[in-house]
Chains A and B, each alone.
Chain A
């Protein structure tokens, strides 16, 4: 079980590393542009999926569940988080150990860092609302940082009434609190979505990718 879990949580990291390296090796600066676009697209798509899941489950799309069950921040073997605040409007969490970072630090931390820079704002905003403020103050991939540091804020005052109603129960007179069971995000799903996103962006940018001996 442990062995299965640790493979599961590194296959996305290895897929990303292969694709990112190939892009930059083959296309240089254009490859970096495409890579960042792809990460943002992936973050947005994953956020949209998370949002749809929450809405279908009758939940509000605030910050409370944005990083649960492998969505957003990897969980499982080797992922250690330290929550310091967790509410609908505000979340503050440190990640002390990350299976993705461990893989990326072995080769090219810059490409890994690009992932963290681009993914989190895209994912959290797509899950909750574009008005959400996403702050990544430290990352394990940044020289000198010993953990990742996230602070996100979603303020009702920054939303119009319709969006406030979608995000916060107290602004929805018809809301009924009911028990629900969250759905985990596995590495296989992450990989499949990332591949779909990279194919789309490559097509839009008119590029092809040679992954011989890669994934």
Chain B
């Protein structure tokens, strides 16, 4: 049984990602207008593509087929959390229909008056991620979304047809086109809360930084992201203080370890080996980490 406090930890881990995205996105679009929106959309696409390709490789390395059934089972890399509510209407290798009725991403975006920034994420992410996973061949449809005014749910309808694949892609996707295929006997581990959200957080941050620097140059790009990180850290600190007070907890190192997806012992995180271009790690330490620690009363 998951206790409510355990559930709150999972919620905080996810909300931290939304806070990061929101305040860098606000900085981008407030300071740079439509250019900032262009940067944001490209960053989300790259983030989605990274996750899609990473998950594809992970499944192929484990001899698991690439299709819509595996995308939403073994291919899941985002950990679950208690508030998210959806119903799956159809889930086969070739089709997936689902509706999301409660999305905590959307709720947190609304809380920070950033619904339209969330809308941008919804428009760009799913297409990029699921197309990357599926060799560019799945059709991704999101006709309603909770980040869209007037919608009461997200409506996803994806299709993936063997007729549209190359011979090699078909073999990698559907067992009947791979004679002699033996599925793996061991189940793949599900994404875990802390490590899963850590990965998502670092990747989203990295691509926001990368796209900002590419578009605006090193100085302005980094300065803009730095400002966004500081705003995010302040919002994060307020959130932690509120949560800690509500649950009668002390904010100490253990609290930070449990509720923040990233480690503030930056050198211990192996992902930085791949995502530390543009001085990402140092910028995060200086502008997010230190600001957050100050905000919650830790040094």
Binding site for B on A (CB under 8 A): 29, 32-33, 35-36, 84, 92, 117, 121, 133, 135-138, 144, 149-151, 153, 155-158
Q: A121-B139, A151-B143 are in contact. List 16 more A-B contacts (CB 8 A).
A: A32-B163, A117-B161, A133-B123, A135-B140, A135-B141, A135-B142, A135-B143, A135-B157, A136-B141, A136-B157, A137-B156, A138-B155, A149-B144, A151-B144, A157-B34, A157-B38
B144 touches A137 (CB 8 A): yes
* A114: min CB distance to chain B, Å: 8
* A95: min CB distance to chain B, Å: 12
A147→B81 CA distance, assembly (Å): 33
B163 touches A138 (CB 8 A): no
A133 touches B127 (CB 8 A): yes
15 A-B pairs (CB sep. < 8 Å): A36-B163, A117-B159, A135-B141, A136-B139, A136-B143, A138-B155, A138-B157, A144-B89, A150-B143, A151-B144, A155-B41, A155-B123, A156-B34, A157-B38, A157-B41
A170→B5 CA distance, assembly (Å): 52
Residues of chain B within 8 A of A153, CB atoms compared: 123
A84, A135, A150 pick with most chain B CB within 10 angstroms: A135
A150→B123 CA distance, assembly (Å): 14
Nearest CB in chain A to that of B149: its residue: A85
Q: Is B73 an interface residue (CB 8 A)?
A: no
Residues of chain B within 8 A of A150, CB atoms compared: 143
Residues of chain B within 8 A of A92, CB atoms compared: 143
B163 touches A137 (CB 8 A): no
Q: Which one of A35, A137, A155, A157 contacts B141 once the chains associate, using CB atoms below 8 Å?
A: A137
A29 touches B163 (CB 8 A): yes
Q: How many residues from B make CB contacts under 8 Å with A?
A: 22
Q: Which one of A33, A84, A144 contacts B150 once the chains associate, using CB atoms below 8 Å?
A: A84
A138→B127 CA distance, assembly (Å): 17
Q: Mark B138-169, 1 if CB is under 8 A from A, else 0.
A: 01111110000010000111010111100000
A135→B140 CA distance, assembly (Å): 7
Nearest CB in chain B to that of A113: its residue: B159
Residues of chain A within 8 A of B164, CB atoms compared: 33, 36
A146→B41 CA distance, assembly (Å): 33
A32, A35, A151 pick with most chain B CB within 10 angstroms: A151
* A85: min CB distance to chain B, Å: 8
Q: Is B37 an interface residue (CB 8 A)?
A: yes
A149→B148 CA distance, assembly (Å): 15
A156→B157 CA distance, assembly (Å): 25
A137 touches B89 (CB 8 A): no
Nearest CB in chain B to that of A32: its residue: B163
* A111: min CB distance to chain B, Å: 12
Q: Which one of B34, B37, B123, B142 contacts A137 once the chains associate, using CB atoms below 8 Å?
A: B142
Nearest CB in chain A to that of B34: its residue: A157
Q: Mark B113-157, 1 if CB is under 8 A from A, else 0.
A: 000000000010001000000000001111110000010000111
A-B pairs with the 5 shortest C-beta distances?
A137-B143, A135-B141, A157-B37, A151-B143, A157-B38
Q: Which one of B38, B142, B156, B162 contacts A158 once the chains associate, using CB atoms below 8 Å?
A: B38
